[in-house]
Amino acid sequence: MATITARLLLSLSLCAAAAACAEDGAAPFDAKPVVKLNEPWAMTFLPDGRLLVTEKKSKLKVVTTDGKVGDVSGTPEVDYGGQGGFGDVVLHPKFADNGWVYLSYAEAGDGDTRGAAVARAKLVLDANGGGALEGFTVIWRQVPKKEGRGHYGHRLAFAPDGHLFISSGERQHFDPAQDMASNLGKILRLNDDGSVPKDNPFAAQGGVAAQVWSLGHRNPLGIAFDRAGTLWDVEMGPKGGDELNLVVRGDNYGYPIVSNGDHYDGKPIPDHDTRPEFHAPAVSWTPVISPSGFVIYSGKRFAGWDGNGLISGLSSKALVRVAFDGTKAKEVERYDMGERIREVEQGPDGTIWLLEDGSGGRLLHLTPKATAGAKS
């Protein structure tokens, strides 16, 4: 097994070879603060160009691109604390017809337990810049609920064919990631109403195993489909070993049996290359970037970015750009944003939007610099 020192040297050598480590650190964009929010966590664009933004204390906001903020009523009671609270928000692919939005959040269980839930509701916008959620219905829950307030995952993405994918963290309890009686530490595939597709890889096992698309994940905090319909995820490793994964139907990614990081108490975890039966990451990071959100860019405003992945980073305080080559990937640039970045999203016009983490976290609008080869 590689030592932590060897991992660090490898990471530094990779970084030195990448444009991300250029001394000038020049970014090809200008970052304009739009508005301050209270612990923002996720965002998505409405068809009219406004954003829906979640805040961890169960607030859903409608935000205009010039910073006007409206409130949406009907949000759920959340179990707030640690990493828990209001989570992701995405629109149904046919939102223009049905008005459905999908929301994830941490909910309390019996005793001192909690887990992630996903609900859908109809969003009814009003003339005052806000709106309401109607017909709020929970369609999925983490099973079982656990103690602690970490590693919910609960990122959402719709596949090109209309299936709903949910990332589910292992809740800092390790073993559930390999336990098919639990949907923790997994990526799940559901129909848009929360029912289980009959062609899921473990459907014959029944129960929550039938929901599973892939297993052996730690804390997946970003999932996105590329133009070819391939699913990728980014997830936090333990002490070292953050991952970008090509997510393959039925595959096992090995956690906590293998990881390119080690436990926080220093106890080693065997590397992926010691157990080739587990799917190894396309990219791993030591030191970590602490990935928090992920999109695959499909616009024209940033020359050379089309088809690249953009990862928001917490401890790295960065926007990380990765390039794909089939099933392979590599980091190509890293931009220092000066603050912990919680979320990244592409706007309808191909510009980039970021959410800073924490109380007073700003919504940032990134537009190409005139000298960055941008296209109008």
Q: Which are the catalytic amino acids?
A: 151
d(CA 284, CA 241): 5
Half-sphere exposure of 259 (CA within 13 A, CB side): 29
d(CA 64, CA 100): 20
Q: Residue 300 to residues 18, 253, 346: CA-CA distances in angstroms? A: 23, 34, 11
d(CA 109, CA 143): 11
Using alpha carbons only, give the angle 131, 137, 233 rounded to the nearest 5 degrees.
90
Half-sphere exposure of 273 (CA within 13 A, CB side): 6
Burial class (CB in 10 A: 0-12, 13-18, 19+), 238: buried
> Which helix (DSSP H) or strand (DSSP E) does residue 322 occupy?
strand 318-325
d(CA 122, CA 198): 26
Q: Is the dihedral of CA 148, 151, 155, 159 positive or negative?
A: negative
74 contacts 132 by C-beta, under 8 angstroms: yes
Amino acid letter, residue 186? K
154 contacts 105 by C-beta, under 8 angstroms: yes
d(CA 157, CA 155): 7
